[in-house]
Structure 1
Amino acid sequence: MADLIACEWLKWRRSRMLWLMLLGALLPAMLVLFVAVNGISHDEPFRWAYYFDMQVQIMGMLMCPALFSLLIGYLFAREFQERTINNLLTGPHSRLAVVASKFIIAIPVLLSVQLLTFLLMLGGGFLFPGAVDAFTWSMLADEAWKFCLLLLLQYALTPISAAVALLWRSYIPAMGLGIFAVISEMIIMQSKYIMYYPWSATLNLATNMFPDRNSASIGYTTMAIVCVVPLLFIAAYFRRADVHSG
């Protein structure tokens, strides 16, 4: 298993997706920075909580569903598209171990995007007047927890993207799923079914944008279902299907 994880990590390190991860962390940080600059130009005081909350909302609503779905799709479908899946499956490891190694590597991949975004936001915040005086460690811990919660909830969605990528043996459908998630999430956010839809439930659990509709029990039940069911499908499909490189 350790050999599989090391192999997946080496393949990821040599992937062009590293640049996409950097861009995915940089763009939302720059967007929030520009919004904060506009607020300061209108004599609005700098507030760390508002600054970070805006970032979490942008990540949860726009960046994470699209970017993470693409990254996970690429991670699981790369061997199919490069026609090397037969070489991977002829090794001494089981198919389930191959899938498990990919889910393990997905953790540092997604974590690196979230962590880089958080550090960029933190460094950019100190550029504003009054930010140093308003900074507290308790505030930093609260905002860091929101980023961690968003990461955990987004990771719970990775089996959906992985299942789509494996079923179509391409990361393009997974990318389409991410785009669909962004669009549909914006629509569902306006309805009373917000906690029954996984992407909108993730956003509301992490940011509490709509407190009157924020039911933690319903939200976490939704996330558990959309995590476990695709995992069971992946285990059954990848273990028994006629997987080949074409």
Structure 2
Amino acid sequence: MVDLIACEWLKWRRSRMLWLVLLGALLPALLVFFIMLNGASNDEPFKWKDYFELDLQILAMLMCPALFSLLIGYMFAREFQERTVNNMLSGPHPRLRVLTAKFIIALPVLLGVMLLSFLLMLGTGFVFHGAADSFAMNILLKEAGKFGQLLLLEYALVPISAAVALLWRSYIPAMGLGIFAVISEMTIMQSKYIMYYPWSAVLNISTNLSPERNSASIGYTTLAIACIVPLLFIAAYFRKADVHSG
């Protein structure tokens, strides 16, 4: 199992997709920085809580659904597109262990986006007047916890993107799923079914944009179903299906 994890990590390190981790953290941070810079020019006081949570909202609403779906789709479908799946499955390791290694590697990849984004927000925040005086460790820890919560909530949706990528044997449909998720979640955010849709449930749990409809029990149940059902499908499909590279 350790060999499989190491192999998946080496494949990921050599992938050009690694640059998307940096871009996924950098673009929201830059957007928030310029928004706050505009506010500072209007003499608005700098608040660390607002600074972190605006970045969190952009990540949860736009960046994570689209980017994470693309990254996961590529991670699970690259062997099909590169026609190396036969080599991957011809070894002595069971197929389910191969899948498990991919799911394990997915966590530090997604963590890299969230951690870089958090550190960028922390570093650029001190540029603003009064930021050093208002900085407090309890605020930092609380906001770090929210970034960690968003990471775990988004990780629960990994099996959906993985299932789409494996079923179509390409990361393009997974990328399309991410775009659809961004558009649909913003639509459903206006309805009473917000906590019954996985991506909007993640958005509302992590950012509390719609507090009157924020039911943690419903949201976590929705995410549990959205995680377990495609996970079972992946296990059954990948173990039994003919997955030759053509």
- Is the structural similarity TM-score above 0.5? yes
Shift of 1:197: 0.4
Structure 2 SS opposite 1:92: coil
Name the structure 2 match of 1:35: 35
- Does residue 1:148 correspond to 2:148, yes or no? yes
2:48 is matched with: 48
Aligned residue for 1:125? 125
Identical positions, percent: 76
The residue that corresponds to 2:114 in the other structure is 114
**Structure 2 partner of 1:103:** 103
CA RMSD of aligned residues (A): 0.4
Amino acid aligned to 1:231: L
Measure the CA separation in 2 of the matches of 1:20 and 1:216.
Answer: 31
The aligned residue for residue 60 of structure 1 is 60
Instruction: Report runs of 4+ in structure 1 exceeding 6 Å deviation.
Output: none
How far does residue 145 in structure 1 lie from its aligned partner after superposition?
A: 0.5
Over residues 150-198 of structure 1, what are the superposed CA-to-partner deviations in whole Å (9 max), with x where a residue is unaligned? Answer: 0000000000000000000000000000000000011000111100000
Aligned ranges 1:181-220 → 2 under 5 Å:
181-220=181-220
1:173 aligns with 2:179: no
Q: Which amino acid aligns with 1:204?
A: N
2: distance between equivalents of 1:185 and 1:41? 33
Residue identity opposite 1:101 in structure 2:
A
The 2-side partners of 1:173 and 1:100 are apart by 22
CA shift, 1:33, in A, is 0.2
Q: Does 1:24 align with 2:21?
A: no
Q: Return the offset for 1:209.
A: 1.1
Matched position secondary structure for 1:128? coil
Where do 5+ consecutive residues of structure 1 fail to align? none
Which whole-Å deviations, capped at 9, do the CAs of 1:195-240 have from their partners, x for residues lacking one? Answer: 0000000011011111100000000000000000000000000000
What is the SS of the residue equivalent to 2:80?
helix
1:21 CA drift (Å): 1.2
C-alpha distance in structure 2 between counterparts of 1:157 and 1:191, whole Å: 21
Aligned residues: 246
1:88 CA displacement = 0.4
Q: Which amino acid in structure 1 is aligned with residue 85 of structure 2?
A: I
CA distance in 2, matches of 1:151, 1:20: 16
1:20, distance to aligned residue in structure 2 (A) = 1.3
Map of 1:7 onto structure 2: 7
**AA matched with 1:30:** L
In structure 1, C-alpha distance between the alignment counterparts of 2:204 and 2:51, rounded to whole Å = 17
2:119 is aligned with what amino acid? Answer: L
Q: Deviation per CA, 1:119-143, whole angstroms, max 9, x where unpaired?
A: 0000010110000110100000110
Aligned to 2:221: 221
Per the alignment, residue 84 of structure 1 pairs with 84
